Every structure is written in structure tokens, then in C-alpha cells.
């Protein structure tokens, strides 16, 4: 239910509903706001700027005196494939990108890995279970801990911290997308872990070209992520 509300309230769906409501009620202001918002947030120049605002200033410096003791890789999404033999679940593209970055970091540092992610769809395995299998099969990295009870980033942090503290670990590399990193770092630090950002990638920012001013679906997706993160970051700042 929480995810459904997010999808309907955040752009672009929220703006589409605003435009539809304006058309039905014959309220030109609502219709104009919805259509103008859809056009604006569909521009790569806008989505790229929002992502850069989230990613700007991330500190990836590691102090050798207090180096991380483990790597935490956060889940992102999953994919369902329906075949004649039944339903098959795989990690999604966002999760796979995080696994790739985490595996490279694990090979470089030789640190143990924790993957975090619970069940987000009825009947599906936990994301942690899928990530554990994928990390081994796709990247040749063995996962030491799987946190499979969380439903969001806040729970990722709380449940991961409990597992790691039991192992005597309080400093970690945190692997996720750069646009998700600020909220994730805040959650993990509030959970009592010292976390060093290890982002999948930091976006270079939008280009000033004709393509950056042409609406496309990718920009709407990026704006959804950006607005979601900005709202979540603000909530985590005041969350007890």
C-alpha cells in the first residue's frame, strides 16, 4: 500500500492525476499545473539537475586509521518473469548495479559483505536471498550476512546494524546509488554505524544540448527517484 501511494502521489503520476482532475472538473489552473509539471519534469536538464543536487558533495574519503570493516550493499528492485514452468524472480537492474559495485569493492578490499533487503512482493523470495545467489553466480563473491527482514532504507540500516554489531563491526562501506546515498548514510548513522559512501556512480550532470530539452520517459523516472529521495531525506532528518 505504501508503494502504491508513493507511485500515485509523486511525479509523474501525481501530475498526471492533477491534469486529469483539472480536465474533469474544468479547472484550467489544475490542468495547466499538471501538464506544465509533466513537461518540465520530463526534461533531462531538470532531472539531471535534481540528481546532481542530491549527489553533490558526497564524501568518499577513507581514513586509514578508522577504515571500514565490512561492506553493506543495499537492495533496490526485483524482476518477475512468468514462464510456462512458473514464476521466476531475479534481482532488478538497480540492485544488479549495486551488486556490481559492491563486488568490485569486495575484491579490492577483501572485506566481508552484507546484503540487505526483505520481501517486497507476496510470494517472492527476499531481496537479500536473491542478492546472495546473484553475488555468487554473477560476480563470484560470497556473502557473509543476509539481512532479509527490512522493507525500506530505515529498516535496512537498523537490521543491518544489529547483525554487524553482533560481529563486532561498527564501520562499513555503504554501497548504493549516489542519488540514494544521502538518505542511506543518514539512516545508517542514526542506527549507530559509521558509514563511508561507496556510490555506484556519481552523475556528471546534464548536458546543455538540444536533447536535454526534449522530454523523455527516462527523465520522468529520474525525477521520481529525485523527489522520492528529497522527501525521504527530509523525513529521516526529523524521524525519531
Q: What is the DSSP string of 90-125?
A: EE-HHHHHHHHHHHHHHHHH---EEEE----STTPP
- For residue 52, the tally of other CB atoms under 10 A from its CB is 17
Consecutive H or E run containing 70: strand 70-74
Long-range contacts of 78-81 (CB under 8 A, 24+ apart): 78/120, 78/121, 78/124, 78/127, 78/130, 80/121, 80/124
Would you state the pLDDT for residue 132?
Answer: 98
Would you state the pLDDT for residue 11?
Answer: 87
Least confident of 122-126, 153-157, 162-166: 122-126
Least confident of 26-30, 151-155, 187-191: 26-30
Query: Mean per-residue pLDDT for 125-153?
Result: 97
Of 115 and 14, the structure prediction assigns the larger pLDDT to 115
Would you state the pLDDT for residue 1?
Answer: 54
Would you state the pLDDT for residue 94?
Answer: 96
Would you state the pLDDT for residue 33?
Answer: 94
Can you give the residue ranges of every domain in the chain?
2-56+217-238, 64-197
pTM of the model as a whole: 0.93
Instruction: Name beta bridge partners: 71.
Output: 113, 173
Would you state the pLDDT for residue 192?
Answer: 96
Least confident of 102-106, 197-201, 204-208, 231-235: 204-208
Structural contact between residues 226 and 51, judged by C-beta atoms closer than 8 angstroms? yes
Would you state the pLDDT for residue 9?
Answer: 77
Q: How confident is the model at residue 65 (pLDDT cuts 50, 70, 90)?
A: confident
Q: How confident is the model at residue 97 (pLDDT cuts 50, 70, 90)?
A: very high
Q: Which CATH class is domain 64-197?
A: alpha beta
DSSP state letter for 10: S
User: Does the structure show a pLDDT above 70 at 2?
Assistant: no
The answer for 220, left when phi > 0, alpha when psi is -120 to 50, beta otherwise, is alpha
User: Does the structure show a pLDDT above 90 at 154?
Assistant: yes
Would you state the pLDDT for residue 3?
Answer: 65
Amino acid at each position: 500500500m505504501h508503494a502504491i501511494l508513493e507511485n500515485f502521489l509523486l511525479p509523474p503520476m501525481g501530475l498526471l492525476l492533477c491534469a486529469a482532475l483539472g480536465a474533469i472538473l474544468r479547472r484550467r489552473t489544475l490542468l495547466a499545473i499538471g501538464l506544465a509539471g509533466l513537461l518540465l519534469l520530463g526534461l533531462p536538464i531538470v532531472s539531471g539537475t535534481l540528481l546532481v543536487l542530491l549527489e553533490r558533495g558526497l564524501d568518499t574519503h577513507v581514513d586509514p586509521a578508522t577504515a571500514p570493516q565490512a561492506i553493506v550493499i543495499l537492495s533496490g528492485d526485483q524482476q518477475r518473469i512468468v514462464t510456462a514452468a512458473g514464476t521466476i524472480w531475479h534481482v532488478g537492474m538497480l540492485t544488479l548495479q549495486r551488486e556490481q559495485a559492491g563486488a568490485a569493492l569486495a575484491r579490492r578490499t577483501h572485506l566481508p559483505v552484507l546484503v540487505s533487503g526483505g520481501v517486497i512482493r507476496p510470494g517472492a523470495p527476499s531481496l537479500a536471498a536473491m542478492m546472495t545467489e546473484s553475488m555468487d553466480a554473477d560476480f563470484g563473491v560470497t556473502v557473509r550476512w543476509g539481512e532479509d527482514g527490512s522493507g525500506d532504507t530505515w529498516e535496512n540500516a537498523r537490521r543491518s546494524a544489529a547483525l554487524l554489531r553482533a560481529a563486532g563491526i561498527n564501520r562499513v562501506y555503504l554501497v548504493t546509488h549516489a542519488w540514494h546515498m544521502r538518505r542511506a548514510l543518514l539512516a545508517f548513522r542514526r542506527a549507530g554505524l559509521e558509514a563511508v559512501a561507496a556510490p555506484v556512480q556519481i552523475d556528471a550532470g546534464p548536458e546543455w544540448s538540444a536533447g536535454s530539452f526534449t522530454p523523455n520517459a527516462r527523465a520522468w523516472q529520474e525525477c521520481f527517484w529525485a523527489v522520492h529521495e528529497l522527501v525521504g531525506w527530509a523525513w529521516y532528518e526529523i524521524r525519531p
